[in-house]
Structures are given as C-alpha cells and as structure tokens.
Structure 1
Amino acid sequence: MTLDELKRRLQIPDEDTSKDEYLQDVLEEAIEWVQCVCNQDFLVDGELKLPSVAKSVIAQYVNFEMQNNAGIKSESIGGMSQTFDSVEERNQALISKLSSAGLRKLRFKPLGA
C-alpha cells in the first residue's frame, strides 16, 4: 500500500502534503501491525500484496491514529463507520475484521512449550 493509496482512502487531496511524513510513518506502523496480527507478511515474489480488507483495516488504523484521541467514539471511512472507545477496542474490532476475512494464520505451539 502506497502513501498515495492511503491518502485516497482517507480522502486527503494529493496536493495536501502537509502530513505526508507522519502518514508514511503511521502507514508503516499499521502495515507491520496487520502483518503481526495476521502472522503473515503478504509478500509475493518479494513485493507487498495486501488484500483489500487489509488495506481497509490499515486505513482505519491510520485514521484513528490521526485523530490523536484514544477515546474516539466513532469514525467513517468511505461509507463504512465503526465505533471505538479505546485503542484496545479499536484493535479488537480491526482484528475481528481481519479474522472474518480469513487473513489471520494460527500460530502453533508445540505441546509442553
């Protein structure tokens, strides 16, 4: 997912570059979070290939971080809205979305570990 795609999803005009550095940092953080939660890197032939659901979750993650308010009550992105009371609730809602899409791979622990 590129910065330009993120800005389109967040409905930020291309010519508005005032927050590009911040957006790029949070975009990288969100991608790493999704990769960790899903237990997969989404690399195909060395190139990041995120499914649309993962991109939507990343955009919601970034939008929440942009609000700079851990107690945000609701948000709307591209006609979809969700309500979060805290970072933990936001994370659980986004994890649920990734799980529903079948993007989370289970981690197995050996018996006795």
Structure 2
Amino acid sequence: MELKELKILLQLPESDTSNDAYLEMKLGEAIDWVVRVCGQSFLVNDNLMLPRVAKGVVAQYIAFELQGNHGIKSESIAGMSQTFDSINERESALISKLSQARLRKVRFTPHKRGYDYGPY
C-alpha cells in the first residue's frame, strides 16, 4: 500500500504534502499492526499485497491516529461510519473486520489431556 492510495482512502488531497512524513510513518505502523493481528505477511514475490479489506483497516487505523483525540470520536471513510470509544474499542472493531474477511490465521493451543483431580 502506497501513500497515494492511503490519501485516496482518507479523502486527502494528493497535492497536500504537509503531513506526508507523518502519514508514511503511520502507514508503516498500521501495516505492521495488521500483519501482526492477521498472523501473516501478505508478501507475494517480495511485494506487500494487502487485500482491500486490510487496506481499509489500515486507513481506519490511521484516521483514528490523525484525529489526535483518543477518546470518543466518530469517523466516516468512503461512506462508511464508525464510532470508537477508546483505542481498545477501535482495535476490537478493526480486528473484527479482519476476522470477518477471514484474514486472521487462527492459532490453536493444544489442551492438556487428562485431568488432575488432586488427592482424595
């Protein structure tokens, strides 16, 4: 995902370069977060190939960061509205989107077989 695509998703004018350094930094941070949450790299032939849903999540993550207020807020991106009460709420909502799109790899932990009933 490139800065140009992020600006389109955030509905920012491409000609406004005043925040480009900040957006580039946040873009890397948001992509790292999505990759970590999904448990996969999205690399195809050494190129990052994020699915559309993941790109939308990256944009929403950054939109929240741009807000500067990490309390209650509302946002609208490309006709879609979201309200987050906190960073935890934001992350839960974004993780839910990634899960619904089946982008998260499920990690199973083996259960201990047998039971320890202790002394009688």
TM-score over 0.5 for the pair = yes
Aligned to 1:66: 66
Equivalent-residue separation in structure 2 for 1:25 and 1:110 (angstroms): 38
Aligned to 2:8: 8
Aligned to 2:38: 38
Q: Give 1:74 shift.
A: 1.1
| Rg comparison, structure with higher value | 2
In structure 2, the gaps of 5 or more residues are 113-120
After TM superposition, where is structure 1 displaced by more than 3 Å over at least 4 residues in a row? Answer: 108-112
Correspondence 1:20-59 to 2 at 5 A: 20-59=20-59
In structure 1, the gaps of 5 or more residues are none
Equivalent-residue separation in structure 2 for 1:94 and 1:71 (angstroms): 16
Equivalent-residue separation in structure 2 for 1:26 and 1:42 (angstroms): 18
Aligned residues: 112
**TM-score of the two chains, using structure 2 as the length reference:** 0.89
Residue 41 of structure 1 aligns with an amino acid whose one-letter code is: S
**TM-score of the two chains, using structure 1 as the length reference:** 0.95
